[in-house]
A and B are shown apart, each in its own frame.
Chain A
Amino acid sequence: ILNVEQSPQSLHVQEGDSTNFTCSFPSSNFYALHWYRWETAKSPEALFVMTLNGDEKKKGRISATLNTKEGYSYLYIKGSQPEDSATYLCAFRSGGSYIPTFGRGTSLIVHP
């Protein structure tokens, strides 16, 4: 089983703060890296899929970058809002595998 690590495990920020967290994955045999947002009592929803080294994706105030050579991806949230409170999951797929490996997630709580 591949090692996919997310840090920090949890994060408390004030409304308006910008924040970022990390997903680390094996740097060899990279295929794709997915980010999901998981709100309490709901199901995970896709944010981004990243496939190329240097990829940058953006959706509103949320953006992500990818470095496949060193094996990490950053998720950034600009001007956090209480509705951004959720667990953010990353999932790594290696070449030739149909089984994604999920990290444990980063739990973000944004205080009004």
Chain B
Amino acid sequence: EAQVTQNPRYLITVTGKKLTVTCSQNMNHEYMSWYRQDPGLGLRQIYYSMNVEVTDKGDVPEGYKVSRKEKRNFPLILESPSPNQTSLYFCASSPRTGVEETQYFGPGTRLLVL
């Protein structure tokens, strides 16, 4: 089944404790991205990657890191989480970045930073 998977789905952590949220897609998509969803706001892009070893900042990259060592994986790293990073996170992928390309979203990761 073609899908985007994320792990973990739910995470409670404390301020400053490094964490990684994994994202994997099995559709051989070139483009992958991370979003956060906060109440009253639209989805905001954190980072995106157009292909292996090519990453760039989205609208809200502060406090996050990403890597794209393999085409299928795009982990999101919070080196020192803070309470303002409590949010619902989505990973997404699309075949390319062309005008017709829509994104396929993962199931979401709900993060609470205490």
Contact = CB atoms under 8 A, between A and B. Distances in A.
A51 B98 CA distance: 11
A49 B100 contact: yes
Interface in B87-114: 90, 97, 99-108
A64 B6 CA distance: 31
For chain A, the bracket of interface size reads 20 to 34
A44 B4 CA distance: 12
Interface stretch (A14-22, A67-75, A78-86, A101-109): A101-109
B55 to A, nearest CB: 11
Interface residues of B, number: 26
Nearest to B39: A104
Contacts of B90: 43-44
Contacts of A103: 42
A89 B37 CA distance: 12
Contact of A101 (B42, B56, B103, B104): B42
Nearest to B48: A98
A98 B97 contact: yes
5 contacts: A43-B107, A43-B108, A44-B105, A93-B99, A98-B31
6 tightest A-B contacts by CB?
Answer: A102-B42, A46-B102, A43-B105, A102-B43, A104-B42, A44-B105
